[in-house]
Amino acid sequence: MSFQLNPLTRRQLQRFRAIKRGYLSFLLFGFLLLLAAGAELLVNSRALIVRYRGRLYFPTYSAFHPGTDFGEDYSYETNYRRLAQKFARAHDGDWVLLPPIPYNPYENDFRPGVYPPTRPSWRERHLLGTDTTGRDVLARLFYGFRTAMVFSLLYMAFVYLLGVAIGCAMGYFGGTFDLVAQRLVEIWSNIPFLYIVIIVASLVTPNLGWLLVIVVLFSWTGMTYYLRTATYREKARDYVAAAEVLGAGTGRIIFRHVLPNTLSTIVTFIPFTLANAITLLTALDFLGFGLPPPTPSWGELLRQGTSNLDAPWIVTSTFVALVVVLSLVTFIGEAVREAFDPKKFTVYQ
């Protein structure tokens, strides 16, 4: 069964591209996602390339290199920043190419006589300063963004899978099934989600998977209402009756006929779901019920920032990052909604 976009949807996509602010936001956001995917190449304590005694090494994605690999006297992970300085002083043809931000989000960069958090410094390459344990704020922001994105995209996928499947089934089959399922959804959506998270977080340390499962379990219900309505509407259309008459099976009708026509409903919600997921994860981390330390996360940074207002670079950079990302997503969402607005295409009789 292939899943074809109908002409209407294609026109809607064209319209979306025509909305400049939304489309630019979309491109920028896509670019950020791309950067985040390659974060190890941009923000990392491991060098991109090391040339040592005529051989080239690419440590970024490889197994770790103990210091002894490059003539150092320790067996733990090479400190490439120091190696770079050493090679530069030695002038014997060896060199190290470091990423633009030569820190990973976990390492504590303690310097003699200075106590973290330290203010932003170009010389130390801590462009946004360090946090209370001397970790680079930019690195943590960057990897925190990636964590948030992975979480949000997975969250979205699962919420939609559950919400669409159940909502669609409710609308399509209707009757008693619809009645019972709706009541169950109502009951389920009344369970206080935050308490569940608090209870679970006090019993186990939630990792990304755990957190995702809990959050998804309590978030899919909203989607069912829209899908149920949309399916009801589509099901009553003549083309569905025609397909039935032609002998199409339930699966074929749902996937080939009904779902593609409800796509506009789903698509409109995507950006807002994404924004929701980011806010949710940040809020949970802020409250201390989120990902375990030392996972980089925006909520944790915000919390550090608000309790260390005398180190304004922490809270400011996190806040700005949060605002920028949420604005981008919201702009995209607005544009999508406008592009997919049924009023633009429906002729009311």
What residue ranges bind other proteins (CB under 8 A)? 63-64, 66, 74-77, 106-108, 110, 115-116, 132-134, 201-205, 288, 292-294, 307-308, 310-311
In the complex, least distance from residue 35 CB atom to other proteins, rounded to whole angstroms: 24
User: Would you say 54 or 192 has its CB closer to other proteins?
Assistant: 192
User: Would you say 121 or 205 has its CB closer to other proteins?
Assistant: 205
Q: Which two tokens stand for residue 171?
A: 């609308």
Distance from C-alpha of 304 to C-alpha of 142, rounded to nearest angstrom: 16
User: Would you say 260 or 292 has its CB closer to other proteins?
Assistant: 292
User: Would you say 118 or 261 has its CB closer to other proteins?
Assistant: 118
Edge-to-edge strands of the sheet including 95-97?
Answer: 55-57, 49-52, 95-97
In the complex, least distance from residue 112 CB atom to other proteins, rounded to whole angstroms: 9
113: phi > 0 → left, psi -120 to 50 → alpha, else beta; which? left
Distance from C-alpha of 48 to C-alpha of 42, rounded to nearest angstrom: 9
- One DSSP character per residue, 76-91 reads SB--HHHHHHHHHHH-
User: Would you say 46 or 146 has its CB closer to other proteins?
Assistant: 46
In the complex, least distance from residue 64 CB atom to other proteins, rounded to whole angstroms: 4
In the complex, least distance from residue 295 CB atom to other proteins, rounded to whole angstroms: 10
Cis peptide before 117 (omega within 30 of 0): yes
Q: Is the dihedral of CA 217, 223, 227, 229 positive or negative?
A: positive
Residue 119: name the closest of 311, 315, 320 by CA: 311
In the complex, least distance from residue 101 CB atom to other proteins, rounded to whole angstroms: 18
